[in-house]
Amino acid sequence: MKWTAFVLALGLLGVGLQRVEAALPYVAKAKDGAAPGVLDARRMAAKIDEHIAAELVRVKARSNPVCDDSTFLRRLSLDLVGKIPPVNDSRRFLSDLGPEKREQAIERLLEAPGYVNHFTNLWLGLLLPEANADFQKRYLLQGMQKWLRKHLSENTPYDKMVYELVAMPIDNRNRNNMYQFYGGAAPASPMPFYFAKQGKPEDIAASVARLFLGVRLECAQCHNHPFGKWTREEFWSQAAFFAGIKGVQNGDFFYGPITEASDRRELNIPNTDRVAQARFLDGKTPRWRFKIGARTTLADWMTAKDNPFLAKALVNRMWAHFFGIGLVEPVDDLVDDNPASHPELLNLLAREFVAHDFDLKFLIRAITMSRTYQLSSVSLGEKEPDIRLLARMPVKGLTGDQLYESLIEATGMRDRFSFQQRIFNFGTPRQAFLEKFTDQEKRTEYHTSIPQALTMMNNQIIINATHPDRGEVLGAITSASFMTTPGKIEALFLAALSRKPTPDEAAKYQRYVEKGGAGGTEKKALSDVFWALLNSTEFKFNH
């Protein structure tokens, strides 16, 4: 135990450790030292900044300066891998004087396993929201998780992922039992998407339109919305592409099969004598081909390079991920009477995303390399411009997953439960924690509830982590006789906040620790400091 604490303390101090880069996948370099695709991303980042700056000039507003290095690395790590950076990475990054170290950090994190983990979880939440509300449907998460991990690991072009999900064969011979998705042998497949919607054409169509096309059709399912763009006829014309699917209605959901008659492409509009024919959302009538099913025809239209919806919807969703707010808000309501804050920028990003073969990493590079993404989040004063103008980086509340993973990283705890155990065992620490921290729709308008505050103050994770004899990181620091008091305080700041303390903070906490704090001992005082940092507003927000 003492040897483990000594090694961990060396790591926190940044002593004698090999460079992490040596363990990362090799990245081929272009002539100027940049990885392939980075040069185009740089140019796109500059275009982003031009559009944002032009709008700020138009409204006579000034922007913040670029944030400091520690803020950038923490922000980037939370956005790309879903947790704060390890102390070693923070120390290395802060000591690096190279002019391209921010680009290099982006590349490292895009190649890290955490990127795949984080974005898999994000897409799982979007594709299978039913699993959060229905325990029975949690069985579906495994097959979808494997499918997402495979494609994100391979950086499969986004249009090909969407095509595979929308046009996937439904093999009537094996009855597509939901049971096959239970257990560790669940196949990597987007089929759980259809099971979660119980094979109902109207539910599948509404989800596909909202997630991939940025269109809220469900409001028109029962009647024409008085203020909406979409009509009831258009809703059922979209659902008609899935008319061949027949799923579980009132039977046994768990064992119920999903079948398909591929030649169906029309649906009766409920409670009417009208029939809706499958029709694209741009108003065009499909050109049906021999032995080509309706879903495949829809997938072809959706992923065509000139489709007016797919690329814009994804770009807007990614923009909202990194800035907490979309170019269009809400992110899944891309209609003419809900204009983008920067329409030319949205169009440009969509065109470039298509031109780069729907490469998700190209889009992520372009956004995170931009000066706009790297702005300080410090308030500009009482008369700030609209948050969507991005004169500063919006402050975003952490999701439940980000907060939990960051606690694990900061405290040195180990989450030993497998993905399968986390799905089905509601007694895991993660599950108990996440039940208190349900994600909020607008991350820029984050509110902390009393149960959440109490969880952060008194949760068993926090109690153990801030106990000098049980906490991995805290124990390593308090027992490191070779570290000075200022060094121990700095290590705690880097562990919790990914930055070094300011001179005032260092002096204040040093006085507190040297006096023994409320408990009269240095160990207890350091424990108090760590508890305060983990419960600070700074820890709970991405800024």
Query: CA–CA separation, 363 vs 45, rounded Å?
Result: 9
Digit-coded pLDDT (tens) for 407-452: 999 998 877 666 666 665 556 777 777 777 666 666 676 666 666 7
Please give the torsion angle defined by the CA atoms of residues 31, 81, 68 and 36, in that order, rounded to the nearest 10 degrees.
10
DSSP 268: E
CA-closest candidate to residue 40, choices 317, 307, 349: 349
Q: Work out the number of other CB atoms within 10 angstroms of the CB of residue 498.
A: 29
CA-closest candidate to residue 166, choices 238, 231, 266: 238
pLDDT computed for residue 19 by the predictor: 30
Per-residue pLDDT of the chain (543 residues; tens, 9 = 90+): 444 444 454 455 544 333 333 333 323 344 455 555 789 999 999 999 999 999 999 999 999 999 999 999 999 999 999 999 999 999 999 999 999 999 999 999 999 999 999 999 999 999 999 887 776 677 788 899 999 999 999 999 999 999 999 999 987 665 566 666 665 578 899 999 998 998 899 999 999 999 999 998 876 555 555 555 678 888 889 999 999 998 765 445 554 678 887 678 999 988 898 998 999 999 899 999 988 999 999 999 999 999 999 999 999 999 999 999 999 999 999 988 899 999 999 999 999 999 999 999 999 999 999 999 999 999 877 688 899 999 999 999 999 899 999 999 999 887 766 666 666 555 677 777 777 766 666 667 666 666 677 777 777 788 888 888 888 899 999 888 889 999 999 999 999 999 999 999 999 999 999 998 787 899 999 999 999 999 999 999 999
- Residue 152 token pair: 């994100």
CA-closest candidate to residue 37, choices 146, 110, 116: 110
Cβ-in-10-Å burial (0-12, 13-18, 19+) of 97 comes to exposed
Tokens 């204040």 correspond to what residue?
508
- pTM for the model stands at 0.90
pLDDT computed for residue 446 by the predictor: 67
Radius of gyration, CA atoms only, the chain: 25
Query: CA–CA separation, 122 vs 152, rounded Å?
Result: 12
CA-closest candidate to residue 75, choices 445, 500, 375, 385: 375
Tokens 């039977």 correspond to what residue?
251
CA-closest candidate to residue 56, choices 342, 297, 251: 342
Q: Work out the number of other CB atoms within 10 angstroms of the CB of residue 36.
A: 10
Task: Give the up-direction half-sphere exposure of residue 220: CA atoms within 13 A in the CB hemisphere.
Answer: 23
Query: Which domains does the chain possess?
Result: 1-16+395-543 (1.10.3130), 122-302 (no CATH)
Query: CA–CA separation, 363 vs 352, rounded Å?
Result: 8
pLDDT computed for residue 61 by the predictor: 92
Tokens 């023994």 correspond to what residue?
516
- Residue 93 token pair: 């990054």
Cβ(414)–Cβ(384) under 8 Å? no
pLDDT computed for residue 23 by the predictor: 30
Cβ(508)–Cβ(474) under 8 Å? no
Query: CA–CA separation, 286 vs 298, rounded Å?
Result: 8
Digit-coded pLDDT (tens) for 515-533: 987 878 999 999 999 999 9
CA-closest candidate to residue 319, choices 376, 364, 351: 364
Cβ(178)–Cβ(247) under 8 Å? no
pLDDT computed for residue 15 by the predictor: 41
